[in-house]
Amino acid sequence: MRTVWLFGFAAAALFVGIALYLQPLKPNVISLQFTFSESAFLAVLHGWQAEGVARFRAHFVADYALLVCYGAFGYTFARRARVFSSCPSGRKRLLTWALPLAALADAIENVLHLYLSSAASQAAAALFPAAGVAATFKWLLLGMFAAVAVLSLGKRTG
């Protein structure tokens, strides 16, 4: 379980560090993640101005490390934690793969956001909603993992 907690603590530390680093951006990064059109995406970037866009683009190195850590945490936690040993196989499979799939969606979102926020980007209109869909899928999987984990822990302790 040491590996599980190492990934978990690393993910938490990276998340806090990224949140603090991006905190000055107004509107916040979450508002960018849930844009589904070019005009909405560019409106957020315009609000950030050049300095904010540079800050946003600079955070991706840490964000890629974060997605590796939380994906690995979710996988190892679901497979190794005794609290889930009595879970039905479908729930355990969902727990096992939710965070790795969220990390994959996050990586796709990151690639799209890096491209769409570059000054040289002449992006196809379909890439803007694709980034929003990837972000939405990521957040749904993160929420689903949390809900299933809490439900499983509640059944175990209740």
The pLDDT profile of the chain, 158 residues, written as one tens digit per residue, is 899 999 999 999 999 999 999 999 999 999 999 999 999 999 999 999 999 999 999 999 999 999 999 999 999 999 998 878 778 888 889 889 999 999 999 999 999 999 999 976 677 889 999 999 999 999 999 999 999 888 887 776 55
**Where are the alpha helices (H) located in the chain, listed in sequence order?**
2-22, 29-33, 38-58, 60-80, 89-116, 127-157
Two tokens, residue 106: 């996050």
- The pTM is what? 0.92
In order of 32, 53, 57, the CA distances from 46 in angstroms are 11, 9, 14
Give the sign of the dihedral formed by CA 125, CA 130, CA 135, CA 140: positive
- Residue 99 and residue 74 in contact, taking contact as beta carbons nearer than 8 Å: yes
Two tokens, residue 76: 């190892």
